[in-house]
Amino acid sequence: MEKKLLLPLAVAHKHAHGGGGERPWARPWRWAKTAFFVAAMLASLLLVCAPPLLVVLLDLALPPALLLRGGDGGGGSLALAVVAQARAFDFRSSLVDLPAVSAARALLILCAYVACGGGGAYLGVVVACAAGSVCYVLAKAAAVLPRRAAGGARAVAAAGGPEAMLLLSLALAAAHLAVAYRTSCRERRRMLVYRIDVEGAVRLKGGHQTPKGPKQ
């Protein structure tokens, strides 16, 4: 009887002192694995199923992050940095317009992708948006870079390098074009296969069969 009572007491004492419990890093490790699994699933979904959405998200997120990182208030919020630069906006020195151009480009392309799918209209909208944004970025570079080289603007010098922002905008425009071209080609192949299937089904339904070759 005493042995039966001592066994539960020993088990309870062991759990109370953490001998049989889980290790302190086990729960955070499970959370980290779950977060990594969810992030990997979302990334694979965007890469395989909807690459245009991935580029749109990058176009919306990267330029503001780079602007906030390069601004004077590195620890401040994005809204404060945007408001501060918008109040003292100068085309030859301020860089706040580049994230705005990227956001407008991304939203227009997203609307075209949702409305038109991956067809030719979507590709045309992407080409127009990319060409317009590239022209604006080149004009911005022609206005900003000579003034930065001359050292005539504190805002440009404080931005930590407008070259990174300009190159990022050009790279995202090229990414939009590449993804739109691949998506349009894939959509054309899909429509071609669908048309062949429909024509074959119509022939079978109407009783039309392809003539056989002459017997030899």
With a cut of 70, say whether residue 68 has pLDDT above it: yes
pLDDT tens digits, one per residue of 139-159: 998 888 887 666 654 444 444
Confidence of residue 89 (pLDDT cuts 50, 70, 90): confident
Tell me the torsion sign for CA atoms 89, 90, 93, 99: positive
**Most confident among 14-23, 145-154, 164-173 (mean pLDDT):** 164-173
Question: So what's the pLDDT on residue 78?
Answer: 64
Q: So where are the chain's domains?
A: 1-49, 50-203
Question: So what's the pLDDT on residue 149?
Answer: 64
Mean pLDDT, the chain, rounded, equals: 75
Helix axes 97-116, 120-150, angle to 10 degrees: 170
pLDDT tens digits, one per residue of 37-59: 887 777 776 666 678 888 999 99
Residue percentage of the chain with pLDDT more than 90: 24
Spatial CB neighbours of 95, under 8 Å, sequence gap ≥ 6: 67, 70, 85, 144, 156, 159, 162, 165
With a cut of 50, say whether residue 74 has pLDDT above it: no
Q: The tokens 């992407």 sit on which residue? A: 126
Tell me the torsion sign for CA atoms 176, 132, 89, 143: positive
With a cut of 70, say whether residue 100 has pLDDT above it: yes
Question: So what's the pLDDT on residue 6?
Answer: 45
Tokens linked to 1? 């009887």
Question: So what's the pLDDT on residue 92?
Answer: 78
Residue whose C-alpha is closest to residue 164's, from 66, 65, 61, 96: 66
